[in-house]
Amino acid sequence: MTKIVEKNNLPRDQYEATLENESLVMKPYCACGNSLDEDYFCNKCNRHCRCNQIVCDNENTLKVVKNYIRKSSQFSAFKVKLAGQS
């Protein structure tokens, strides 16, 4: 029997979300951990990244992001999780 390996635990391009002065701030990162500029190009991996996951630093940030996902079509394609969870 063939064993199925889930790819969900592989590193992915992502936004790291925090709340600063009650505003949501999202910084893009490549799967390799390199911080990305506005063009989302990773100089380390030499590729354009696609951030479709948001990693929140705490529960309050997670609640804000989940609210955006529910209410805004611009956020509807994102997956969200709390930092440290797999």
- What pLDDT digit, counting tens, does each position of 8-53 carry? 566 799 999 999 999 999 999 999 999 999 999 999 999 999 999 9
**Token pair for 31:** 């799967």
For the four alpha carbons of 71, 54, 35 and 73, in that order, the dihedral sign comes to: negative
Any domain includes 7: no
Any domain includes 69: yes
Strands 14-20 and 53-56: parallel
**Number of structural domains found in the chain:** 1
Any domain includes 26: yes
Rounded-to-integer distance, Cα 83 and Cα 55, Å: 6
Domain that holds residue 50: 14-82
Q: How confident is the model at residue 86 (pLDDT cuts 50, 70, 90)?
A: low
φ/ψ of 28, rounded to 5, equals -80, 140
